Structure 1
């Protein structure tokens, strides 16, 4: 029912598709669209789990984007609720919330480990 957009899409074979300029606001993460660059991965279900090729491509994207922009946080969709009340939070509809589990804690831990040299700020705790 909602229009959704993301800056990048990563196919199961690791191919990265740029869907829109990262300087344009996408609609992909509640409360943080105005300051986030969105990456979606094809799959992520029990039937179609994320692949090693997708992991490598996500790591490459984080490195690529971090060289271009001063990125402070690296988050998975499932972590967006941790930013409610944070200075970056901007969601005008207090009732608009969804439960997300992508791309998963293990996937994010592996991306964070591979990109720790960027020294991203920790995700807020609740």
Structure 2
């Protein structure tokens, strides 16, 4: 009974989404309260974690789309190709609702990442204006 690599990868990706959300909250706080500085590495963290979040969102979108687009015959054929112990664990009736959940999650994650990129662009513009005013 070894380490489940897929479980670890899933936890890392969900962790990246969580960290991205926390960094976005710090960014929003800094936008609302300019006197509260943003840490130097936060913009880079938002970019990196946002890219991971967007990639995960795309993966969820394609997975959800495939689950919703698959016909019952295709699903039955795919289940037949699985080992018997895995066939017993699959509940075919839950796959379509699971596809819908994947699609909703993908839209939420992608929207959140795009919104934080927009806030980051706004914050960088304010920082540039602030530096230009200091130079004058």
TM-score normalised by structure 1 residue count: 0.28
Of Structure 1 and Structure 2, the greater helix share is in 2
Which is bigger in relative contact order (C-alpha 8 A, separation at least 6)? 2
Of Structure 1 and Structure 2, the greater strand share is in 1
TM-score normalised by structure 2 residue count: 0.27
